[in-house]
Structure 1
Amino acid sequence: MKDQINSLIERISTLKERIETEEATKNAFVMPFLQALGYDVFNPLEVIPEYVADQSTKKGEKVDYCILKDDDPIIIIECKKWQENLDLHNTQLERYFAFTKAKFGILTNGIEYFFYTDLEEVNKMDAIPFLKVNLENLKDQDLTQLNKFHKSEFNVDQIFDSASELKYLNAIKYYFENELNAPSSDFVRFFTKQVYQGKITEKVSHQFTPIVKKALNAKINETINQRLNSALNSQTIEQKEEVVSQENLSPDEIIIAEDADKGIVTTQEEVDAYNAIVDILDGTVEKEHIAFRDTKSYFGVLFDDNNRQPICRLYLNHRSKKYIGIFDEDKNEKKYQICKIAHIYKYSKEIIKAVEKYLVVESE
């Protein structure tokens, strides 16, 4: 999927200025996107173009595409020309959503994809999408979310369960970002009340607005710098300790400190694998407990950034075949062959079990 998406991104960059109609947008951008998700756009048993979504007042209205699973609609897709602002067009998709059995709706202009479901009220499409993906500004976490909609991975219940958290998480992030850039009066008042004993008048609020903005941004930058310095110092200390104590470790426990100076490059594929593992462990352990270390031999994922608490290892580079190695209760590594990053999800139970043993030790 990742390779096909990257090819589509290149196509968009090359062709978009020549695309002049909605139909051309569908052919050049949307259909390749559906193919990247594993769907056969030329098979009417899988993807139906111009799917009829009847209403009581307007018969024969049609949504651009409908994806089927076991003959039932699961996703409807409404398309616009690539230059269109999608925020202005969700009402049309909302009408179609109400008159189909599909649990998910996608509004797209071939570059941006807005994903909707019915979190607020059953069979009524939410006004706010739970996921927005922009192919011209694609992030690693976007690929992780898109993978859930791949034909081979699609599970209605799992996607719906994660949609609620994703929707409100993104909404809060958006709100917080706006407040950092331009604090509202309520936001300023909340923080001012914590430090100012007098009456908070309009004048006081005005005086504190730049102070609140500066303080919050400074604290965020300070936290980032502390974590970076802590990670660098921790890595340096542990590398020194390992050089001294390697004779006491088994071969599977050794990460060679010298590798840091041998030009190791963490690939995008390894980063995608790490994000997939974080996604699998969501609900079992917080992301901050999941760390990775790259070596020339393998890409290691660790619990609490502790070399003696391995979760798994990815063998993705310099090999004709790719593997994931997962550690059991006795820290024995069992390797499984994978053809692509999405196959990591097949071993979700084993990955979760690898972490749970460390959580038991911590609780004791």
Structure 2
Amino acid sequence: MRIGYDAKRAFHNKTGLGNYSRSLIDGMCRFYSENHYFLFNSKPSVLYKAEGLHVQEVLPSKGLAKKFSSLWRTFTLNSLAHQYNLDIYHGLSHELPFGSKKGKTKWVLTVHDLIFIRYPHYFKPIDRSIYTYKIKKACRKADKIVAISEQTKRDLMEFLGIAAQKIEVVYQSCHPQFSQTVDEEEKRAVQKKYQLPTTYLLQVGTIETRKNLLLTIRALDRIPTNIHLVVIGKETAYLQLIQHEIAKRNLQKRVLLLHSVPFDDLPAIYQMAHIFIYPSRFEGFGIPIIEALHSGIPVIAARGSCLEEAGGPNSRYVDPDDVEGMGSAINDINTNNVLRSTMIKEGNEYVQRFNPKNLAEDLFNLYKSI
């Protein structure tokens, strides 16, 4: 097959949608190398280079297209899919190019979440309107929609009225580096570089209201003082509230906030953590949970969205407003070595369902079906 991807996020986003795009493209190129892959990229980047026998990056070639690359992505790619004789064009981040269908190309759309519809107060009105317009248009055009969780599939049916048979759930994977054991020398170097405490909880994700870091901060009062908290994430205005709460509770020596951690250091930080915490109020899936399970650490997450799908039955879940419940969950794992060992073992077995080979096979079967 000749398969095209909207690869903007793969080439330009370091986290989130970028990780999803890179993982998906790399998996397909690795396990189905007989296909021809065309990666449509709106402007040059040094962040990513796909490897494979038949992989071609496609960039705007003319002056105006280069200057207005976002318009090239939105309006020109529809014609390019026909010109490149694509069997499949897959929009990896909620969008498909505008324009009517041409030729034999089938259109696939990945939808990660509908948070901007479910929780509109997290978004500016103009952004919410643009996102809603684009996703409705893309869903109408798509021959098949990939939802990254059962939760997202339910949301597509509830909020946009999409028929169940048009939606296929294909989960996400994470970078294979998280399942590779980091040697002790490298761990010591990373520990020294960031001055990591001996025993720490780890929370990873943008420091914003929805990620609910405030719950973890407030739970620190309920656990032993030798347990610290390490937070890795991009800062937003929500950070001011977090810093105020840390100061109010006199927790400055127990909380370490890191905002710019290179990817190569993350596996070591994960693997040295005592427990991984992910109390987000709502997610499309929750890749950091997958990273944590691969890293061999227990997970505590918030219930109420799709995090149970990512963490499996042997992770622990608390209400996103339950400070006492979060503290109790941490203490249970901290004091019960049998529970901790069971969570690690069962978590490692559960996370194998998200390995890149299985997910590439699911996606390839979807492509063949249309």
- The TM-score, its normalising length taken from structure 2, stands at 0.28
Q: Which has the higher contact order (CA 8 A, sep 6+)?
A: 2
